[in-house]
Amino acid sequence: MNKDFKGYLSIVLHAHLPFVRHPEYPRFMEEDWLFEAITETYIPLIDVFQRLVDDGVDFRITMSITPPLMCMLSDNLLQERYIAYVDRLIELSEKEIVRTMFQKEFNDLARMYLRKYKLCKEIFVDRYNGNILQAFKKFQDMGKLEIITCSGTHGFFPLMLNQKAKDAQISIAVSTYEKHMGRKPRGIWLAECGYQPGDDELLKKHGIKLFFVDTHGILFGVPRPKYGVFAPVYTSNGVAAFGRDMESSKSVWSAEEGYPGDFNYREFYRDIGWDLDFDYIKPYIHGEIRCNTGIKYYKITGKGNHKEPYNEGKALETAANHAGNFLFNRGKQIEHLNSYLGKKPIVVSPYDAELFGHWWYEGPYFIEYIMRKAFYDQDVIKLITPSEYLAENKELQVVTPCFSSWGYKGYSEYWLNGSNHWIYPHLHEIADRMIEIASTHKNANGIMERALNQAAREVLLAQSSDWAFIMKTDTTVPYAVKRTEEHVENFNKIYKMIKDDFIDEAFLNDLEYRNNIFPDIDFRIYSE
Amino acid sequence: MSNAEDFRPLGSSGASKNVPATPHRKPGDRLPKHYGKTKIVLMVIDPFWLHAYWHITHSKIEELKNSLGEENFNSSRFVIRVYDITDIDFSGDNAHSYFDQNIGNNARNWYINVGTPDRNFIVDLGLITQSGEFILIARSNVVRSPSATISSQVDEEWMSIDEDFEKTYLLSGGDQIGKSSFEIKEIIAKRFQEELSSHIFSSFSSGKPLQEKSEEKSTFWLKVGTELILYGATEPDAKLSVMGQKIELRPDGTFSMRFALNDGEIALPVEAESADKKHKRKIEPVVNKVTR
């Protein structure tokens, strides 16, 4: 890299899914969230990183991989189920190659899907032996990728009133990260960027050096942040806070102006799971319920219902153009900021990882082209991870970021409104109760210790912000309601057993079998 | 998130202990109505709105009835008293200001419009008797309403002149929050107040999400696809080809293929050859698809 670069660009992908694992059923629809994300986002990203490494492209990306996602990706049952999932897709795409024999435009696409699914299987099974966390770890160990953690089960801190409950979320996040990544995390993605002043003290306690807030988290910080979001700040506890850049965010996120809406890109809503004859597609959907299979043959085409066949070559060309445009704009932005601020700005562009590939099918290629073009075609921008930035830039302003989130309207409303406010009396109570029993039973062992550990898992699972989020978005609401109710109920049952000093072992066995997140948890993270 | 539209476990026939038996119950109904403690809890929604939930135990009600007398109790009203205690060590009567919100007898939670960012609040749940006396039932935690604008505090070491900071602010995306002005507070305030109505509605609800009824679409539609199934059987160890391409037979010697058809004529020559290569058979169906 040329020493005369004008500023930094940090691309951050937040990879998260709630813990969904139902060994009690042979197949379970919501488990497909994970399998779709592996197929369309995580493996394509691994494939991109590998190609970049093979071609000698020095790149930098930051990814949060949340603790529930780490637990699912390392779980044997889900790994086996993923292989069965991708095998079904391979079988379906083979059938599609025959079925579309007289429709060349679709036949080419059926072959594309077969090629991609076979690659998924090869990467998943042959290269990483079922655990793709190893792939991410490999790129981290090479210094290309920085993996950060996230609040334990993606708990939304601004509505989690007990500091000890937040502390436990961070504690389990750090130990989960360490188990899979072989070192401690330097950074954290607070779930939904939900930050409340004071939470940084907990981060410091656990050795975490940096976190992210939304734009106004920095802009409304106290005192005024001299460089806006273009330099991180230190909180009074010496933890660095990086703010989201709005301009680069919008170019990807915005429904109207964003790249993913280009008419050449693949249309998400036309899937053969909905389009084809029921009897034919039945083995590849869920029982009697039509759902997406992942095989989609159309491009966005235009605003109306008329859709034309997808053209892979054209779509990839578009992604390359968009990547060029993105980098060009960042270059202009950074040059302007540099001359104006009199220092090298950092532009932080965070996105949900699942946007790339799952929603925006060409997204992983967009990332790849950005990395290639940044390496070969320019010398204005230096790609960097936040912890590298901190190593190069030691002097930061001390600012207390403002209470904020990156959700709708920027604060807590999305997670606290008429659709989901009923959960908080329960969530607060079980957290308080957990702290109580963890403090009174510090020396527990045997079955009592197991019960306390499971109680902690149930609290953590209930705290996933995903449930409140789903209730508000009005999709799969019954599942989110049921999960909240079940974990609260499970906790309350165990709590009573512990208070009564009588553990129903069959009940405990069943919960340990089903809700096995954080296999090595020690309930004492809740002890006071 | 996923596109999954429905929750239904697979491979289960009929009811299971994990599937709610009553489909139309309210979310959370199967959980305890309360945890046996008199308390009030305060949470932050945004710079202008807070949310409180509470519970008063039966014994606390009895205690109040006893101390006030049944008649006095019945003529009293439940309120939440919202205190601004910014920079104050609150003793109960030294708040900057407070206001009372009537909550009726049955509400269990309330959306509170405090209207001012960057202030500390605490809430008392209480009764106001007919004579105007306030009887405290429970006191909440303290919360601070978030900031909705740029801080007036400037760090001398990191100072920039106002115009410069305004520019930085805009470049940072401040104009995405409101408009390009330092009077951002007003604009943001307006943005929140536009949402007032939804909060007012939810104040009266106790856990039931508001459902918007989508208007019935009147655009009638029809889709038709045409597919052809070609199937047959030969000796299980024979070699089979369709349109010159080798096809795997099932163990019993049968085969089945399915093709999507465009308009026009297609020929589907099927050829079989015995394992010892001594015998051959060829059958060639021809299909003509016309759409009228």
* Average pLDDT for runs of 10 along chain A of length 528: 86 97 94 96 98 98 98 98 98 96 96 98 98 98 98 97 97 98 98 96 98 95 95 97 90 76 91 93 89 94 91 97 96 95 95 91 98 96 97 96 91 94 98 98 97 98 96 88 98 98 97 98 97
Q: How many residues does chain B have?
A: 292
Q: Enumerate the CATH 1.20.1430.10 domain ranges in chain A, comma separated.
A: 416-526
Half-sphere exposure (Cβ direction) of A169: Cα atoms closer than 13 Å: 32
Closest residue in B to A222 (Cα) is B151
Angle at B253 between CA B252 and CA B258, to 5 degrees: 110
pLDDT value, residue A409: 86
Whether the per-residue pLDDT at B23 is higher than 70: the answer is no
pLDDT value, residue B193: 34
Provide the 10 A C-beta neighbour count for residue B24.
5
pLDDT value, residue B129: 95
Chain A interface includes B222 (CB < 8 A) = no
Q: What is the pTM of this model?
A: 0.90
* Contacts with A36 from chain B: Cβ below 8 Å: 2
Integer Cα distance of B128 and B126 in angstroms: 7
Integer Cα distance of B183 and B207 in angstroms: 37
Q: Is the omega angle on the peptide bond into residue A223 within 30 degrees of 0, that is, cis?
A: yes
Q: Is the dihedral of CA B80, B81, B86, B92 positive or negative?
A: negative
Token pair recorded at residue B19: 């599937």
Whether the per-residue pLDDT at B10 is higher than 60: the answer is no
Encode A315-369 in three state secondary structure: HHHHHHHHHHHHHHHHHHHHHHHHHHHCCCCEEEEEEEHHHECCCECCHHHHHHH
Provide the phi-psi class of A481: left if phi over 0, else alpha when psi is between -120 and 50, else beta: alpha
Tell me if A425 and B55 make a contact (CB, 8 A cut-off): yes
The pLDDT confidence band at residue B223, using thresholds 50, 70 and 90, is confident
Question: Could you tell me if A49 and A144 are in contact, meaning their C-beta atoms sit under 8 angstroms apart?
Answer: yes
Chain A interface includes B148 (CB < 8 A) = yes
A452 CB-contact burial (10 Å; exposed 0-12 / middle 13-18 / buried 19+): buried
pLDDT value, residue B194: 35
pLDDT value, residue B173: 82
**Cα first-last separation, chain A:** 50
CB-CB: which of A98, A275, A418 is closest to B257? A98
Chain A interface includes B11 (CB < 8 A) = yes
* Contacts with B27 from chain A: Cβ below 8 Å: 422, 471, 477, 481, 484-485
Tell me if B3 and A417 make a contact (CB, 8 A cut-off): no
| Cα of A371 to nearest chain B Cα, Å | 24
Encode A185-250 in three state secondary structure: CCEEECHHHCECCCHHHHHHHCCCCEEEECHHHHHCCECCCCCHHHCCEECCCCCEEEECCHHHHH
CB-CB: which of B172, B227, B257 is closest to A228? B172
Token pair recorded at residue B123: 């809430």
Query: Residue A480 in 3-state DSSP?
Result: helix
pLDDT value, residue A431: 98
| Cα of B127 to nearest chain A Cα, Å | 22
Whether the per-residue pLDDT at B290 is higher than 90: the answer is yes
Which residue, B168, B163, B180, B176, is CA-closest to A337?
B168
Tell me if B205 and A418 make a contact (CB, 8 A cut-off): yes
Whether the per-residue pLDDT at B9 is higher than 80: the answer is no
The DSSP-derived string for B40-52 is EEEEE-SSSEEEE
Whether the per-residue pLDDT at B19 is higher than 50: the answer is no
Question: Could you tell me if A57 and A369 are in contact, meaning their C-beta atoms sit under 8 angstroms apart?
Answer: no
pLDDT value, residue B210: 35
All residues at 6 or more sequence positions from A367 whose CB lies less than 8 Å from its CB, including other chains? A11, A45, A48, A61, A323, A356
pLDDT value, residue B217: 53
Q: What are the residue boundaries of the structural domains of chain B, listed by start?
A: 27-156+184-205, 227-289
Tell me if B260 and A413 make a contact (CB, 8 A cut-off): no
* Contacts with B198 from chain A: Cβ below 8 Å: 417-418
Q: What is the mean pLDDT of residues B205-221?
A: 48
Host H or E run for residue A91: helix A76-99
CB-CB: which of A228, A244, A411 is closest to B168? A228
Closest residue in B to A399 (Cα) is B155
Tell me if B208 and A418 make a contact (CB, 8 A cut-off): yes
Closest residue in A to B195 (Cα) is A409
Query: Which of 20-49 (B) contact A at CB < 8 A?
Result: 20, 27-28, 30-32, 34-35, 41, 43-47, 49
- What's the CATH superfamily of B27-156+184-205? Immunoglobulins (2.60.40.10)
Token pair recorded at residue A385: 């991870």
What backbone phi and psi angles, to 5 degrees, belong to B104?
70, -175
pLDDT digit string (tens) for B47-101? 999 999 999 999 999 999 999 999 999 999 999 999 999 999 999 999 999 999 9
The pLDDT confidence band at residue B177, using thresholds 50, 70 and 90, is low
pLDDT value, residue B196: 31
* Contacts with B202 from chain A: Cβ below 8 Å: 417-418, 421
CB-CB: which of B11, B46, B171 is closest to A228? B171
| Cα of B4 to nearest chain A Cα, Å | 7
* Contacts with B257 from chain A: Cβ below 8 Å: 98
Tell me if A222 and B30 make a contact (CB, 8 A cut-off): no
The pLDDT confidence band at residue B216, using thresholds 50, 70 and 90, is low
Tell me if A32 and B2 make a contact (CB, 8 A cut-off): yes
- How many CB pairs below 8 A link A and B? 253
Closest residue in A to B205 (Cα) is A418
A416-526 maps to CATH 1.20.1430.10 = yes
Higher-confidence residue of A56 and B220: namely A56
Q: What is the mean pLDDT of residues B235-251?
A: 95
Residue A252 CA: distances (Å) to CA of A352, B171, B280? 11, 17, 60
Q: Enumerate the CATH 3.20.110.10 domain ranges in chain A, comma separated.
A: 8-73+131-255+342-409
Tell me if A99 and B30 make a contact (CB, 8 A cut-off): no
- What's the CATH superfamily of A8-73+131-255+342-409? Glycoside hydrolase 38, N terminal domain (3.20.110.10)
The DSSP-derived string for A422-461 is GGHHHHHHHHHHHHHHHHHTTT--HHHHHHHHHHHHHHHH
* Contacts with B1 from chain A: Cβ below 8 Å: 33, 354, 466, 469-470, 473, 475
| Cα of B280 to nearest chain A Cα, Å | 24
pLDDT value, residue B24: 59
Whether the per-residue pLDDT at B180 is higher than 70: the answer is no
